[in-house]
């Protein structure tokens, strides 16, 4: 299957700083990318959906000014957690899909964010 | 609105035995896809099996099979001959197949499977 990478795999930062997480599709063009958040022992919750070249669509309750998503190319999307606080500590997973809606969705390995 | 329900928060199974993980869903979409993913402790989401709502036969992939009962809106995962490496979190997910490229994949709450030697 296709490969999606995330960088970094883990990050620790101080409260108040901003953190950028990259998601790359390595061997296909990701027309749509998704960002999920997962708290320990919980399910994946969709944060936002982004299409290349357009603004992301955020799920209800997700602050778009806090979680900045940029999908500038068909192989790269970034999630920036601005002014991170301890409650933002979580496992962030990106997913990418090529083309039409019934295509398989491929997941990155996730990024574990810890805010101290 | 779509909803996925996994009623088993955790399960034990003996090595080499079969186990069924339950999943029921609710949707008003006429065409949809059902997915099962495995998430080991490393966190990566591993795709296991897919069933389309109009598929006539139940999907199978090696030791994984999907018991799809459309009228009951259930899509249970059956793992045959359990192995120690099957110990992980298992998520059922659904996505409508019509309506455009941004159709969202919605996950259930997951079932933690522990395989005992």
Q: What is the pLDDT of residue A105?
A: 85
Q: What is the pLDDT of residue A46?
A: 94
Cβ proximity of A21 and A7 under 8 Å:
yes
Exposed/middle/buried for B90, CB within 10 Å: 0-12, 13-18, 19+?
A: buried
Could you read off the pLDDT of A46-63 as tens digits, one per residue?
999 988 888 899 999 999
Q: What is the pLDDT of residue B100?
A: 60
Q: Which residues of A are less than 8 Å from B91 in CB distance?
A: 43-44
Q: Which one has a higher pLDDT value, A87 or A53?
A: A87
Q: What is the rounded CA–CA span in Å between residue A96 and residue A51?
A: 10
Could you read off the pLDDT of B55-79 as tens digits, one per residue?
989 999 999 999 999 999 999 999 9
**Least confident window among A49-53, A102-106, B84-88:** A102-106
DSSP single-letter state for residue A54: S
Whether A43 and B47 lie within 8 Å, measured CB to CB: no
Q: Identify residues of A whose CB sits under 8 angstroms from chain B CBs.
A: 1, 31-32, 34, 42-44, 46, 49, 51, 57, 91, 93, 95, 97, 99-102, 104-107, 109-110, 112
Q: What is the rounded CA–CA span in Å between residue B32 and residue B75?
A: 12
Q: What is the rounded CA–CA span in Å between residue B100 and residue A19?
A: 31
Could you read off the pLDDT of B26-41 as tens digits, one per residue?
998 889 999 999 999 9
Q: What is the pLDDT of residue A33?
A: 92
């Amino acid at each position: 299957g296709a490969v999606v990478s995330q960088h970094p795999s883990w990050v620790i930062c101080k409260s108040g700083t901003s953190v950028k997480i990259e998601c790359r599709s390595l061997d296909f063009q990701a027309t749509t990318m998704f960002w999920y958040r997962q708290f320990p022992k919980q399910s994946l919750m969709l944060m936002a959906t982004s299409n290349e070249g357009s603004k992301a669509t955020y799920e209800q309750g997700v602050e778009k000014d806090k979680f900045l998503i940029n999908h500038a190319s068909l192989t790269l999307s970034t999630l920036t957690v601005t002014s991170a606080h301890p409650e933002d500590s979580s496992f962030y997973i990106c997913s990418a899909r090529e083309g039409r809606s019934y295509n398989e969705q491929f997941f990155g390995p996730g990024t574990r964010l810890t805010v101290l | 609105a779509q909803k996925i329900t996994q009623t088993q928060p955790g399960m034990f199974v003996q090595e080499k035995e079969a186990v069924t993980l339950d999943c029921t869903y609710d949707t008003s979409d006429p065409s949809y896809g059902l997915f099962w993913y495995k998430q080991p402790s490393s966190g990566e989401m591993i795709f296991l099996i897919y069933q389309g709502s109009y598929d006539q036969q139940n999907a199978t992939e090696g030791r994984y099979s999907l018991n799809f009962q459309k009228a009951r809106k259930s899509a249970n995962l059956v793992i045959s001959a359990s192995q120690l490496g099957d110990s992980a979190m298992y998520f059922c997910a659904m996505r409508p197949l019509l309506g455009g490229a941004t159709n969202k994949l919605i996950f259930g709450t997951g079932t933690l499977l522990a395989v005992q030697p």
